Chain A
Amino acid sequence: QVQLVQSGSELKKPGASVNISCKASGYSFSDYTMNWVRQAPGQGLEWMGWINTNTGNPTYAQGFTGRFVFSLDTSVSTAYLQIISLKTEDTAVYYCARDSQSSSWGQGTLVTVSS
């Protein structure tokens, strides 16, 4: 069955960087795009963008350009989200979700940014 397993919670200081992984199994990784979704504390879901798992080409939603980087390691069927120059407002749970209709989701990674 399709599984997306994300890396564990992170506690970071403002200005630091964080790298979140999303390891896929149960399907051919390159057959489906991967999306990233943010959920701030007590808030709804916000689509951040997606990455083409064939070409590695990322597309970022408005508000997620510059400090957010999507990447892949297809050899281990894993997608990554890197956030650089962290701000306190980046505190959120970050989800990976498979394909353009988000049919399957990872368990989420809580990133807490605090001094």
Chain B
Amino acid sequence: DVVMTQSPLSLPVTLGQPASISCRSNQSLLHSDGNTYLNWFQQRPGQSPRRLIYKVSKRDSGVPDRFSGSGSGTDFTLKISRVEAEDVGFYYCMQGTHWPRTFGQGTKVEIK
């Protein structure tokens, strides 16, 4: 199975400041169809996960543009340009290239 490793696992941030989460896979996520299926999910306290980013950098409908995704191959990043209070929660990367699908351990974002 593909192992997804996130860092940091805990990220205290100041409101209005940027935040960055890394996600690394132990195999390339480049699919034979030419796409790279790396997704990012947000899970606010007490809520179900919500997908923010798919195919590395494409934002889902309704996702604020302060969220951006980048990367290729085995190395990916989720960035929040200016953290807001509603961004508190856990963030997970998930690879959608290989079976079985696998998630990172999750990164807890909290306000300092």
User: Chain A: residues with CB nearer than 8 A to chain B?
Assistant: 35, 37, 44-47, 49, 59, 61-62, 95, 97, 100-108
**A102→B92 contact, CB < 8 A:** no
Q: Which interface class (under 10, 10 to 19, 20 to 34, 35 or more) fits B?
A: 20 to 34
- The answer for the CA separation of A20 and B106 in the assembled complex, in Å, is 25
Q: Is there a chain A Cβ closer than 8 Å to B50's Cβ?
A: yes
Q: Is there a chain A Cβ closer than 8 Å to B67's Cβ?
A: no
Task: Check A101/B103 contact, CB under 8 A, given A45-B92, A45-B94.
Answer: no
- The answer for the CA separation of A15 and B100 in the assembled complex, in Å, is 28
A to B CB contacts below 8 Å, 24 in the list: A35-B101, A44-B90, A44-B92, A44-B105, A45-B43, A47-B100, A47-B101, A47-B102, A62-B100, A95-B48, A95-B49, A100-B96, A100-B101, A101-B37, A101-B39, A102-B51, A102-B94, A102-B96, A103-B51, A103-B54, A104-B51, A105-B48, A105-B50, A105-B51
* A44 contacts across to B, CB distance below 8 A: 90, 92, 103-106
* A35 contacts across to B, CB distance below 8 A: 101
| A1 (CB) vs chain B CBs: closest residue | B61
* A106 contacts across to B, CB distance below 8 A: 48
Minimum C-beta distance from B62 to chain A (A): 10
Minimum C-beta distance from A110 to chain B (A): 11
User: Chain B: residues with CB nearer than 8 A to chain A?
Assistant: 1, 37, 39, 41, 43, 48-51, 54, 60, 90, 92, 94, 96, 99-106
